[in-house]
Structure 1
Amino acid sequence: MLASPTAAPPPVPSDADYRNRLKRTQVEMKKRGFDILALAGADILRFLTGLHGLPVTRPIWLIVPQNGNPGFVSPGSEVKEIQARSGTPVIARWVEWEEPVPAPTTHQDALAGYVAESAPQARTIGIDFNGTNGANIELVRQALGQERVRDAGLLLRDLLAIKDAAALDVIRLSCDVIGHQFRASVDAVAPGIAEWEVSLASFVAGTRRAAELWNGNEEQSPLALGLHMTGSGAERTARCHAAGAGRRMREGDVVQICRCSTGFFGHLIGYDRPVQVGSTRPSAEMRKVIDLARESQEAALAATRPGATADAVHAAAMAVIDRGGWENPVLHRTGRSIGYSSWDGHEIKAGSQTVLEPGMVITIEPGIYVDGVGGARFGDTVLVTEAGHEVLTPFDLGRDI
């Protein structure tokens, strides 16, 4: 049932939160020698301005000076959308048609023109290389000067690593949505049902829950975008990212449900569980895969605390997995930093010396994948706290199979 019109709006970041994020960004710019930033990635635009849900076919550049307020260099098609969804102004635009007073007709010309006018002395311009494609980066380099453009990726990674209170409020809403998605997925699992039907149930349930939370907001779409991966049977669960296709589940199968990269207001989390199809119990070897996958996650969680290295958390999971005696049963890292995007820059994997700090949000999702038997993964989104950690996703949900 949809929330009533008088229900409180969801706790999304305020103007004060965006001002604080801007101040943090500008402090880091000065430390790292960036005179100006030109950012196009959807996640960093949301982080700094709240702009969310626009198409990414045309670059939308956010200009961040060392001092003063940011603004958008926007394609003409998105000016009205930006004005409706964000308090950050459009300071330059480019068009794809003729106007009485000629305007720039490419994003790089509009960007270069604005920088030349507003910051002619800027020697170092930071671009988020992960936020746009290589062709656009090269066009911007040609327009601004190759020697002036540097990748700002490390600066942005460090900005996103520690979540502020506003982000944690929204991440908790994402975890609420994921619970609805998982329950709907489990309800759809049955012999004869195609994998995509389970993924569709997840999409619908997540959308309905997000619509309740948005409470009729006319600018924010509740559509549950992201990954709704569903893989069933021995062959498909032994691959970590089966994509909810046409295979019909069979009595006695295990189906691996992965609801990573789904979220509310673009704040993304990870959540994974294996689910039994029908009443026939898995084979003894598959039971072993499931049990050790669950135990490996619990061991990694026990190692998750401030001051621990990512490598040590990964090693705790691997110590359990190695007891299974399988040859090469691992297909991915134990986890990653997450929340503002599907990967905020740090990895929980072998050799990573990233030190966990309070305020970091990470996934803990070790998996076991054995050819001819099947695979299983228990994954949750976790906040590193002063005292240790807090599991944000519905931890007890789906742990028994």
Structure 2
Amino acid sequence: MSTDQTATPSPGPASLLPDTLRAALDRAGVDALWVSSPENIRYLSGFTSGRDARLLLSAQPTLYTDARYTVQAQEESRFPSFIARPPATLAHAAPAVEGLRVGFEADHLTVAELERLRAHWQAGERPATLVSTSRVIDTLRQVKTPDEVARVRAAQALADEAFAAVRPFIAAGVRESDVAARLEGFMRERGAGSAFGITVASGPRGAMPHGTASARVIGNDELVTVDFGALLDGYHSDMTRTVAVGNPSEELRRLYRAVLEAEEAAVAAVRPGATGGELDAVARDLLGAHGLAEAFAHSLGHGVGLAVHEGPSLRAASADVLVPGMIVTVEPGVYVPGVGGVRIEDLILVTEDGHEVLSRSAKELL
């Protein structure tokens, strides 16, 4: 295995670390941070192949990746890059972390990699102190810049276009997998990918919140839940619509109306200062009034951006406070085994005076 190494010229003695990042490290009680989350690497450095990279966030940040990405790192990374494979990368970083408290992302770093860090950074006369951290950068990512908002908005607009194109195709006799394929094909033809495995859950399969599209043929008089999003220029969208095929039963209609009421009430409550727990309670209490509290089997929503699931959290125990610039989903659902299920999801931008609904696809009127 080659260990050829290339380092870009040093930018000089001045620190490359902005004040906001330095403050985040100070709050975490560390001098530097070894970043392993692909989303955080892209957010900090601009490098788009974060799965094959690491970033030492310090007074002189350095991106570490291998020779497959030499040109890409030079073109994309706002920080100097060092091109090699472990253990050469860890040896190169060792002098920079001597005697420092170095945080690692406990939610992302493997145990094996942590052991390698210990072997290379804690063996000298001035060993680094390795500190477990959580959400140091993830918390910063919760509030989107205007450019990030524009990218999520574009991804959602494409998802809305895809749904409008495919909605007439959702009919009795069509396989769930064919609906998913058309959605994904529409997005790929326009330069995007699927944000996650597309859910198309019809009839009794609607009782599965993550019912990935199967070979099941959609029947008449059923509800079909479609959960998908676009991945465009690194940013995700996320939406769910439950649609009617034929003439669903009154019980299915009742479930739909209850979820729609809860979803619209929770969306209306999105504003700066609201907590994730408060918003979850709005939807959960309304569904409880319909006798469906136990059928609401997941949290109300989550943040969306470089990851399709990120902070803030909209769940019962969440103390996360919404502020302008956050983008969240609102997606109550009910799931009744043997009967079916309903979920309706909108993508919401928190604004200075309330919110903006980014998802524009129409909702069924049952």
The normalised TM-score by structure 2 is: 0.87
Residue 64 (structure 2) pairs with residue 73 (structure 1): yes
Deviates more, 1:304-313 or 1:262-271: 262-271
Which residue among 113, 124, 131 is the counterpart of 2:91? 113
Deviation at 1:320, TM superposition (A): 1.4
Secondary structure of the corresponding residue to residue 346 of structure 1: strand
Q: 2: CA distance between counterparts of 1:27 and 1:167?
A: 22
Alignment-derived partner of residue 204 in structure 1: 185
Q: 1: CA distance between counterparts of 2:31 and 2:305?
A: 28
Percent identity, aligned pairs only, is 25
Q: 2: CA distance between counterparts of 1:34 and 1:282?
A: 57
Query: CA separation of 1:147/1:89 partners in 2, compared to 1, >3 Å: closer, same or farther?
Result: closer
Alignment-derived partner of residue 152 in structure 2: 171
Which residue among 324, 341, 345 is the counterpart of 2:290? 324
Deviation at 1:92, TM superposition (A): 4.0
Q: AA paired with 1:83?
A: Q
Ranges in structure 2 where 5+ consecutive residues have no aligned partner? 1-14
Whether the aligned pair in 1 keeps the contact of 2:28 and 2:133 (CA below 8 Å) is no
Alignment-derived partner of residue 47 in structure 1: 43
Secondary structure of the corresponding residue to residue 359 of structure 1: coil
Secondary structure of the corresponding residue to residue 225 of structure 2: strand
Whether the aligned pair in 2 keeps the contact of 1:129 and 1:152 (CA below 8 Å) is yes
Alignment-derived partner of residue 34 in structure 1: 30
Whether the aligned pair in 2 keeps the contact of 1:233 and 1:255 (CA below 8 Å) is yes
Alignment-derived partner of residue 364 in structure 1: 330
Query: CA separation of 1:31/1:314 partners in 2, compared to 1, >3 Å: closer, same or farther?
Result: closer
1:257-284 per-residue CA deviation (whole Å, 9 max, x = no partner) reads 0014x3212212320000122xx21100
Residue 102 (structure 2) pairs with residue 125 (structure 1): yes
After TM superposition, list the pairs within 5 Å mapping 1:101-250 onto structure 2.
107=86, 109-121=87-99, 123-145=100-122, 148-209=129-190, 211=191, 222-234=192-204, 236-250=205-219
Q: 2: CA distance between counterparts of 1:20 and 1:232?
A: 52
Q: 2: CA distance between counterparts of 1:327 and 1:338?
A: 25
Query: CA separation of 1:326/1:171 partners in 2, compared to 1, >3 Å: closer, same or farther?
Result: closer
Deviates more, 1:147-156 or 1:225-234: 147-156
Which residue among 263, 285, 296 is the counterpart of 2:262? 296
Q: 1: CA distance between counterparts of 2:50 and 2:306?
A: 18
Q: 1: CA distance between counterparts of 2:365 and 2:50?
A: 40
Whether the aligned pair in 2 keeps the contact of 1:73 and 1:110 (CA below 8 Å) is no
Whether the aligned pair in 1 keeps the contact of 2:227 and 2:239 (CA below 8 Å) is yes
Q: AA paired with 1:71?
A: T
The normalised TM-score by structure 1 is: 0.80
Alignment-derived partner of residue 221 in structure 2: 252
Whether the aligned pair in 2 keeps the contact of 1:177 and 1:263 (CA below 8 Å) is no
Deviation at 1:85, TM superposition (A): 4.2
Alignment-derived partner of residue 11 in structure 2: none
Deviation at 1:349, TM superposition (A): 1.1
Q: Which runs of 4+ in 1 moved over 4 A?
A: 19-23
Whether the aligned pair in 1 keeps the contact of 2:272 and 2:321 (CA below 8 Å) is yes
Residue 60 (structure 2) pairs with residue 63 (structure 1): no
Deviates more, 1:304-313 or 1:140-149: 140-149
Question: Which is richer in strand?
Answer: 2
Whether the aligned pair in 2 keeps the contact of 1:311 and 1:352 (CA below 8 Å) is yes
Q: 2: CA distance between counterparts of 1:307 and 1:387?
A: 10
Equivalenced residues, count:
348
Residue 84 (structure 2) pairs with residue 93 (structure 1): yes
Whether the aligned pair in 1 keeps the contact of 2:199 and 2:228 (CA below 8 Å) is yes
Q: AA paired with 2:26?
A: K
